[in-house]
Amino acid sequence: MCRPDHYGIYYEINPWMDRNRQADRTVALRQWEVLYQLLTETLRVQVELLPSVPGLPDLCFTANAGLLVDNLFVSSRFRYREREAEVPHFTQWFLERNYRVACLPEPALFEGEGDALFCGDRLFAGYRFRSELQAHHLLAELVGMPVHSLELADPWFYHLDTCLCPLQPGRAAYYPDAFSPASQRLLKETIPELFPVTEVEARRFACNAIVVGQAVVMNADCPHLARTLAEAGYQVHEVETTEFLKAGGGPKCLALFLDREAT
């Protein structure tokens, strides 16, 4: 994770972002701290911190840094130049800790865990708005496993982690209308138990949740999904990330998994 010390809406690269609707950094810092304390103190998650950097307002969205598969960190190649300067900071952090670091060959665009999520041993990857389908083939070769490609259909759900939340092997929450019809079919074929999310709650980024074992850290004011998860045996922890939603981010956007098996 990365403290949002320099967070703000300074450019517009997705439909959520509007420079005239600025985030309140004081509130954002408070919301981030609540999330951090919930993870570290209540759920006992070990969280490593990346130093914040002036001029990189989206560095706090560490899920977009890349994808970690075992000891290999596959670094992102961002679609928009506004985020390109984040890459050296992410890669340096992993290199200093003796991870293997790789990047997909140019010009393949790939935005890390924002667009690539494991559900059990299955790797799902989204494409169209930020990552490219071509990148999925290259990613599969690099990590040595098949990638299930999902076409995103709604620009408001521009990353896969905004509309799909893997819960455990064979189970996930998702917002159906964020996917093309073919990708909806693929999800139903590969994930036996899917919990559909309503449009209202999807726009609250209900799917952008952090899953730690049987605990699910999700945005507040998503009562339908919260009730569904509780009935399915999960411990639901609700947090506010209203200031990050202004940039198209939620709880999951603020965290990158270093140990996939722990989830």
Report, as residue numbers or ranges, the catalytic residues.
159, 253
Alpha helices by DSSP H, 144-237: 181-190, 199-202, 223-231
Residues 6+ apart with CB under 8 A from 128: 151, 152, 153
In angstroms, the Cα distances linking 135 to 34, 52, 54, 108, 157 are 35, 28, 30, 5, 19
Residue with the two structure tokens 């799917």: 207
In angstroms, the Cα distances linking 237 to 41, 43, 203, 225, 229 are 13, 10, 18, 12, 11
Among candidates 105, 101, 111, which has minimal Cα distance to 77?
111
Q: For the chain, how many residues are written?
A: 263
Q: Say if CB 143 and CB 2 are below 8 A apart.
A: no
